[in-house]
Structure 1
Amino acid sequence: MIPVLLADDDAMIRSGVRVILAADPEIEVVAEAADGRTAVTLARAHRPRVALLDIRMPILDGLAAASEIRRHAPDTAILMLTTFGEDDYIARALGDGVSGFLLKASDPRELLAGVRAAADGGAYLSPRVARRVIELGGARMARGPAARDRTGMLTGREREVLALVGAGLSNAEIGRRLFLVEGTVKSYVSTIFSRLGVRNRVQAAIVAYDAGLVDEAG
């Protein structure tokens, strides 16, 4: 079972997301909040596997709440719920340890896939928001040819792992795909982060997208 904390100040959004998540028998919404401060309190109490946070909330916005949750419940993966036009919030989130971004108007299958990816230690970028996330990250991360130069420093196996990180796979899923034990994948991921100068899987995914590795991975 994947316990999820859902936080959004719009009751209708919360209700809709809850219904979608309830369709998956392996996902359970264990707590709900209408503001960031309550979300932090509930995360400390319930220790959910995934916290699904509206990027804009009262008292504490989603990013401030995410920072507090990571401090008090470090094993909780953070997914941000966003809409088009929230570029400032998305840009701030790129430097933090979020596991991904989901558009509020996403296909329900994307929401379920994102929660599962985050729960398994992967990263997830909703396809319709991915391009905007990549554009915003471009000011701080290499784009196009420059990204290919950066990934050119990696070994062939490291590029394979990076491509699958960019595709949202967890370490366990990458291990199964490449016939590697999970500990070996974790070591590869750590080395890739260090060599690329990125802090988290979302930043690594952006480099992978920019370098064209995700397309190559199919």
Structure 2
Amino acid sequence: MNTRIAIIDDNNFLIKSVKEKLSFFNDISIAFTANDGVQCMDKLEVDARVKLILMDIEMPQINGIEATALIKQKYPQIKIIMLTVFDDDENIFKAIQSGADGYLLKETSSSELYNAILQTLEGGAAMTPSIALKTLNLLRRPLSLKTNDTEENVKLTGREVEVLEQLAVGLPYTSIADNLFISPSTVRRHIENIYKKLQVHSKVEAIELAKRKRII
């Protein structure tokens, strides 16, 4: 059975490199490639018969995390593996929140990439070992956050909840502003207020705490 996949990356040299890695496997075929999320969505509109997408993160127009959220909303059956050079907590967390099925670093070998694709198609969650460890640490972190009376009585406004919900799927300030018909500076003010009310210092902490408190 031939598995159709897509490769999304703004670097054509890296697209070529991934193609070469997968050329050894006859049961994998490249349905299309694209240089950003906009191109990817356009090509899916024409033909969505893709089983899996290898998605870069840092791209123009619509980045990989934003594109992943959009694709999962419209084509939930398509599996998505982030294939990136970024291994920081925030990108990992946002990718998972957006619906990514796996997270690999671009240094992954041909055989590891192929096995990750098969594993993901079978319902697994393929991750580079170092990424898997970081993910476990992200999951453990909420347990170390202290609960107190202030946290229990947190009250966010409706607009603050809307901002936080969109932040949780990985949208940047500009996209949140467009969606809510407000300015980016207003979005920043809302986020500052959210941080103060939740007594946190980062987006990751705010999202983790809001989910634990079932605010979002």
SS of the equivalent of 1:95 reads: helix
Which structure would you say has the larger Rg? 2
Equivalence for 1:151 = none
Is 1:20 the counterpart of 2:9? The answer is: no
Superposition pairs of residues 175-190 of structure 1, within 5 angstroms: none
Once residues 116 and 43 of structure 1 are traced to their aligned partners in structure 2, the CA distance between those partners, rounded to angstroms, is 21
- Tell me the secondary structure at the aligned position of residue 92 of structure 2: helix
Shift of 1:13: 0.9
Which amino acid letter does the alignment assign opposite residue 105 of structure 1? Answer: E
Give the partner amino acid of 2:36: D
In structure 2, the residue matched to 1:190 is none
Structure-1 separation of matches of 2:143 and 2:59:
28
TM-score, normalising length: structure 2: 0.60
Q: How far is the alpha carbon of 1:86 from its aligned partner?
A: 3.9
Match of 1:108 in 2: 110
Structure 1 residue 2 corresponds to structure 2 residue 3: yes
2-side partners of 1:84 and 1:121: how far apart?
24
2:137 corresponding residue in structure 1:
135
- Tell me the equivalent position of 2:56: 54
C-alpha displacement of 1:122: 2.0
| Structure 1: distance between partners of 2:93 and 2:128 | 16
Q: CA deviation at 1:84?
A: 4.1
Deviations 1:152-183, CA, capped at 9 Å, x for gaps: xxxxxxxxxxxxxxxxxxxxxxxxxxxxxxxx
Q: Which residue of 2 aligns with 1:173?
A: none
Whether the aligned pair in 2 keeps the contact of 1:2 and 1:119 (CA below 8 Å) is no
1:166-211 alpha-carbon deviations (Å, 9 max, x no partner)? xxxxxxxxxxxxxxxxxxxxxxxxxxxxxxxxxxxxxxxxxxxxxx
Residues in 1 aligned to 2:47 and 2:9: alpha-carbon distance in whole angstroms: 17
Shift of 1:120: 2.2
The answer to whether the Cα contact below 8 Å between 2:7 and 2:15 also exists between their aligned partners in 1 is yes
SS in 2 for 1:75: coil
Q: Percent identity?
A: 27
CA drift of 1:11 comes to 1.1
Is the partner of 1:139 in helix, strand or coil?
helix
Q: Which runs of 5+ in 2 are unaligned?
A: 145-216
Quote how far apart the aligned CAs of 1:138 are.
3.1
Q: 1:64 matched to which residue of 2?
A: 66
1:70–1:107: structure 2 CA closer, same or farther, 3 Å change rule? Answer: same
Query: How large is the Cα RMSD of the aligned pairs?
Result: 1.8
CA distance in 1, matches of 2:135, 2:57: 14
Per mean C-alpha deviation after superposition, the further-off stretch among 22-31 and 121-130 is 121-130
Deviations 1:97-145 (A, max 9, x none): 2110011011221111111122222211122422223333432468xxx
- Length-normalised TM-score, structure 1: 0.60
Question: In the alignment, is the contact (CA less than 8 A) between 1:5 and 1:31 conserved in 2?
Answer: yes
